[in-house]
Amino acid sequence: MIIVMRHTCGAEQIKKIVEFVEAAGLKTQVSKGEERTVIGLIGDKTKIDRSLVENMPEVDEIIEVSKPYKRAAREMHPDDTVIVLENGLKIGGKNTPVVMAGPCTVENWEILIEVAEAVKSAGAAVLRGGAWKPRTSPYAFQGLGEEGLKLLARAREKTGLPVVSELMDAKDLPLFLRYPVDIIQIGARNMQNFSLLKELGRIDKPVLLKRGLSATIEEWLMSAEYILAGGNSKVILCERGIRTIEKYTRNTLDLSAVPVIKKMSHLPIIIDPSHAVGHWDYVPAMSKAAVVSGADGLIIEVHSNPEKAACDGGQCLKPKLFSALMRDIKALAEYR
């Protein structure tokens, strides 16, 4: 249930309603939008008298939210959520799409810094690189672990680019906070690792929540809800392709998720075309389509020598192609 306040209401009147609701044992979430302030109610709504609230002079109307996710719902927060990184970079809302780029995994310092500098000069705003890798085979390269975070932190320092990296196990969270990692990625395979999501609810760091391989948009938003319910409002959604009958691409990029998420939720959504299509030559087309669809950003795999990459070489763009793509992206972003 959402209480929409009258336009004329000030802080005192909002406080009065919040106290009334909380006295009944419910939790509230106040969202002050440009147009109006709404108070979201979370908990057992039968504990308050709906008609009493409806008739309070401060209240404009009451809206029922039937969706299972509440904090992630657009009704609860009519304005777009904008996530601001430590360096001031803004993700979401009317801001220009943010491009995150870098290798699939951190391999060594030479490759990492070469790619980081290349993507930076092409216009990327965030450096990606996995230190822990979720691999189908236990015999495949599993990532450098803490050494990978160390190298990322060094590249962050040298280039000034914030970094995004995947957390697979809650026990490593203190390391992510210490190095630091600016955006903590939760990979597709962990989208429903609820104990991990609860841990992320307790921190105040941006989380990039990838859509599960066969998750519906509602299930994905329910996972975001776990993080929001814990008190961390900095969730960025990432569509990275879902599993379908199609075999010519690694996954099927569900670009329709962009307008659907924009309607259902206030959270920013970015697109990962690399893991979606799985082939470098399809990445530019889908990146451009993503920008035009209204996505708040992209996360793209780039490698200076894809043939020798430890992981996902076939879907990595070489820096030169990435640069050309960035020029197209910039031009398209202006037409949104």
> Is residue 309 within the footprint of Mn ion (CB under 5 A)?
no
Determine which residue in the list 312, 319, 325, 329 makes contact with Mn ion, applying CB under 5 A.
312
- Out of Mn ion, ligand PEP, none, what residue 188 binds, judged by CB under 5 to 8 A for its kind, is ligand PEP
Closest contact distance (angstroms) between CB of 130 and ligand PEP is 5
Determine which residue in the list 104, 111, 184, 253 makes contact with Mn ion, applying CB under 5 A.
104
> Is residue 164 within the footprint of Mn ion (CB under 5 A)?
no
Question: Which one, 17 or 155, has the nearer CB to ligand PEP?
Answer: 155
Place of tokens 């196990």: 169
What span, in angstroms and rounded, lies between the C-alpha atoms of 75 and 265? 8
Which among 97-105, 107-115, 278-286, 322-330 is the span making contact with Mn ion, rule CB under 5 A? 97-105
- Out of ligand PEP, Mn ion, none, what residue 268 binds, judged by CB under 5 to 8 A for its kind, is none
Question: Which one, 58 or 166, has the nearer CB to ligand PEP?
Answer: 166
SS3 call for 317: strand
- Out of ligand PEP, Mn ion, none, what residue 199 binds, judged by CB under 5 to 8 A for its kind, is none
Closest contact distance (angstroms) between CB of 70 and ligand PEP is 26
SS3 call for 164: strand
How many Å is the Cα radius of gyration of the chain?
Answer: 21
- Out of ligand PEP, Mn ion, none, what residue 234 binds, judged by CB under 5 to 8 A for its kind, is none
**DSSP code for 305:** S
In the chain, DSSP assigns E strands to: 2-5, 27-32, 37-42, 59-63, 83-84, 90-91, 98-102, 126-128, 163-166, 183-186, 207-210, 235-239, 269-271, 297-301
- Is cis: bond before 97, omega within 30 of 0? no
Question: Which one, 85 or 188, has the nearer CB to ligand PEP?
Answer: 188
